[in-house]
Amino acid sequence: MASRGKTETSKLKQNLEEQLDRLMQQLQDLEECREELDTDEYEETKKETLEQLSEFNDSLKKIMSGNMTLVDELSGMQLAIQAAISQAFKTPEVIRLFAKKQPGQLRTRLAEMDRDLMVGKLERDLYTQQKVEILTALRKLGEKLTADDEAFLSANAGAILSQFEKVSSDLDGEMKGPEGQ
């Protein structure tokens, strides 16, 4: 009986990850096709996707409150969804890697961005935005940042990431028990 529960837990986790991947891919595709869509169509599609993310987040909350064995795996996904909903992160790829707790791939992405900036393939503003997102994600995953990274983050983190920090702190409070609600 215990192995059956583990199998079901594993399958549920896999299904949830696939659903999160689908929603993150939808957001990424939408950003990539932004120029091809008129403003109303873009805004409506983005709104619908964010509503789906919000519904997915609500489902995760229900699962987490009823099944404590899934809390650790699902909390990272929920935090990533909260980041997307609060629009703290604008880069779906960063959200996806954060949700899957993949700091190594986030660091690889950061190195690729450094290279792209040096060869002129990436604009400075976009580089700054994405680097702040990645460094914030790494910090939230408990990764140690260099002094240079900390300084970059301090100099460039804005109100949007402050909102993400608030959302993630609120989420941490919810995880500790219902007294925070």
- 58 lies in the same domain as 75: yes
How much is the pTM?
Answer: 0.47
Q: Which domain holds residue 68?
A: 9-100
Query: Is 176 inside a domain boundary?
Result: no
Query: Is 179 inside a domain boundary?
Result: no
- 35 lies in the same domain as 81: yes
pLDDT value of residue 3: 53
For the segment 136-174, what is each residue's pLDDT rounded down to a tens digit? 888 878 889 999 998 898 888 774 565 555 555 555 555
For the segment 16-53, what is each residue's pLDDT rounded down to a tens digit? 888 888 888 888 888 888 889 898 988 888 888 888 88
DSSP 120-158: TSS-HHHHHHHHHHHHHHHHHTTPPPPHHHHHHHHHH--
Which band of pLDDT confidence, cut at 50, 70 and 90, is reported for residue 77?
low
Last residue of a domain, one of 41, 76, 100: 100
- 114 lies in the same domain as 162: yes
Instruction: Name residues whose C-beta falls within 8 Å of residue 107's C-beta, 6 or more positions apart in sequence.
Output: 134, 138
d(CA 41, CA 145): 40
Query: Is 172 inside a domain boundary?
Result: no
pLDDT value of residue 118: 92
- 17 lies in the same domain as 96: yes
- 20 lies in the same domain as 37: yes
How many domains, in total, are found in the chain? 2
Mean predicted confidence (pLDDT) in 89-101 = 65
Q: 48 and 119 in contact (C-beta within 8 Å)? A: no
